[in-house]
Structure 1
Amino acid sequence: MSPYRNGNLSVMPLQEFVLDGFQGGLQTQALLFALFLALYMVAVIGNLAMMVVITLDARLHSPMYFFLKNLSFLDLGYSSVIYPKMLTDLLSSSRVITLGGCATQFLLSLFLTTEGVLLAAMAYDRFVAICSPLHYPISMRPSVCARLVLGCYCGGCLNSILQASFTFSLPFCSSNHIDHFFCDVLPLLKLACAETTINDLLLFGLCGRIIVGTMLVIFISYGYITVTILRMHSGGGRHKLFSTCGSHMTAVSLFYGTVFVMYAQPGAVASMEQGKVVSVFYTLVIPMLNPLIYSLRNKDVKDALWRLGQRHTAT
């Protein structure tokens, strides 16, 4: 790679970075390792279990669970992009990551964006199911669901490619210490020895459009859903539908609340230490909670888990 000229000084661009991670001594690092390992294992087991149950139980082969299966895959994906490396760093004195490894962690952007759009698709699915039940089998036929999910992944790929391209086109020639536990856009921009205004505008514009656009779909869908449910005469039917939608709205609130604070509201996070805590929440705690939210509040999933357990016991 050719050197970058800064005024009269020529410096070689960085080829590797050091992830500073969390502050603290050996005891603190050991406690964090145990905590994050436990949370990560729960996230992996929970999301894998959801994917296996939905795949094996024919009663869950419906659009809602097709989307939920993809949600579990995304949760598993973006936590696994970050935490194996982070857990290794907690036990190591060397926290070096190559430029290529750093770029690979931008897959997080792909998974996060795809999940945000997928949550909007799931809200639309519930809207059609509750507000237009007679048209639901046609409107949400398998080919339509597949195209919706494919569109979610295409949106995630586009955002990830743009963010990575604009970020790694910058020259990094100052300190190679990233004040974070993974290669995120914001701390990387602080290391650039070039103007980053375009990058800041791109980050704010893309994240803002994605968040606002998907949230509009969710709010409009649930506005119609709420009106439809309140018009129902059956109290039991209303309770069942509110319970089903409640799981999704809980997942939406957790996901969008933290992502909005981190990426779409510049200055909301006062320090990088606070930013690290917020990052842990959306990269690990949410992937761990989503399977619990959807399994504990969903009778169909609990019944499927019970049937799978009975089948395993019988064999």
Structure 2
Amino acid sequence: MNIWNTTTDFVLLGLFNHAGAHLFLFVMILTIAFTSLVGNALMLFLIHQDFLLHTPMYFLLSQLSLMDMMLVSTIVPKMAADYLTGQKSISPAGCGLQIFFITLGGAECFLLASMSYDRYVAVCHPLRYPILMSWQLRLRMTVGYWFLGAADGLMQAAATLSFPFCDAHEINHFFCEDPTLMHLACADTVIFEYLMYICCVLMLLVPFSLILISYSFILASVLENHSREVHKKAFATCSSHLCVMGLFYGAAIFIYMRPKSYRSANYDKIVSVFYTIFTPLLNPIIYCMRNSDVKGALRKCMDQCAALSHH
């Protein structure tokens, strides 16, 4: 088998063909992605505009919306353009950028751990909340998880594209992803895959363990309180967070931590749709529809818009 260098474009085989059923699925995916972008942009706008939402929890939610918008914007426009034009090639630089921004989205692992810590402090140490979630700590956490995501993304993109690739330069996916690209490498990738596995353990399992510990303390604290109202409020808030975390971590662990011999391109594509397109849509729905503060800010914004249009 011949080897070609990374000056030649890759070909993304995509998610759909042009059959009628696939056209319907494409339109549905596009609608979901657009709704996700609008929903997360609305969350960012409301959190920025409403003074009542200028709290640590909503600051972290704004970062989550920003990451979700970045993830959808990295993948969906290219996928849609490929499907509509039939031009499915992507340059190595474009592929590297996709790997970088998708891995940068891995900072969401640490963000979700920060959100679980925020809920732990709010439930278990409410009187010390302003001190334990000070703006200095929020700033350090924010810089930390963005830096870790960017460093990991840069290393993975550079390392992946440094491999020589074989004649079969078709990527059986709708975006560039490290595990899929490794199938095309005409070199021994064992060391790189081992290092990537270690990175996945650090970026997935360590924050996930911290989340489980935080919610274990929350559960113990809530059960000690015999107030039904406290139980209801705590479980309503925490269940929303756990839904988002379960979807994100479940999909990410399935994609990045399975042995190579157990991989299936079709399964990978389906699961990738969940964590890159569906989960960003669920975040604003879960946090908006089940949150009275956000719904209040939305009503206030709509009333102001109605008043302006009336005048």
Normalising by structure 1, we get a TM-score of 0.93
Residue aligning to 2:52: 59
Gaps of 5+ in 1: 1-5
Gaps of 5+ in 2: none
State the identity %. 38
Opposite residue 84 of structure 2, the aligned amino acid is L
Measured against aligned partners, the alpha-carbon deviations of 1:186-228 in whole angstroms (never above 9, x if no partner) come to 1211111111111211221111222111011101111111111
Opposite residue 85 of structure 1, the aligned amino acid is K
> Does residue 74 in structure 1 map to residue 67 in structure 2?
yes
Opposite residue 53 of structure 2, the aligned amino acid is L
Equivalent position to 1:244, from 223, 233, 237: 237
Deviation at 1:61, TM superposition (A): 0.3
> Does residue 141 in structure 1 map to residue 141 in structure 2?
no
Matches within 5 A, 1:227-242: 227-242=220-235
Alignment check: 8 A CA contact 2:247 2:279 kept: yes
- 268-277 or 97-106: bigger deviation: 268-277
Residues 158 and 175 of structure 1, relative CA distance in 2, 3 Å threshold: same
Deviation at 1:174, TM superposition (A): 2.0
Residues 158 and 11 of structure 1, relative CA distance in 2, 3 Å threshold: closer
Alignment check: 8 A CA contact 2:103 2:149 kept: yes
Matches within 5 A, 1:180-195: 180-195=173-188
Measured against aligned partners, the alpha-carbon deviations of 1:4-29 in whole angstroms (never above 9, x if no partner) come to xx9xx775545211100135334345
Residue aligning to 1:33: 26
Alignment check: 8 A CA contact 1:14 1:173 kept: no
Equivalent position to 1:154, from 142, 147, 156: 147
Equivalent position to 1:224, from 202, 210, 217: 217
Alignment check: 8 A CA contact 1:86 1:182 kept: yes
> Does residue 123 in structure 1 map to residue 116 in structure 2?
yes
Matches within 5 A, 1:1-315: 12-266=5-259, 270-315=263-308
Opposite residue 134 of structure 2, the aligned amino acid is R
- 2: CA distance, partners of 1:108 / 1:12: 23
- 229-238 or 181-190: bigger deviation: 229-238
Opposite residue 176 of structure 2, the aligned amino acid is C
Q: What secondary structure is seen at the aligned counterpart in 1 of 2:127?
A: coil
Alignment check: 8 A CA contact 2:60 2:115 kept: yes
Deviation at 1:149, TM superposition (A): 1.1
The number of residue pairs the alignment matches comes to 308
- 2: CA distance, partners of 1:129 / 1:10: 56
Alignment check: 8 A CA contact 1:131 1:225 kept: yes
Normalising by structure 2, we get a TM-score of 0.94
Deviation at 1:113, TM superposition (A): 1.2
- 2: CA distance, partners of 1:159 / 1:137: 32
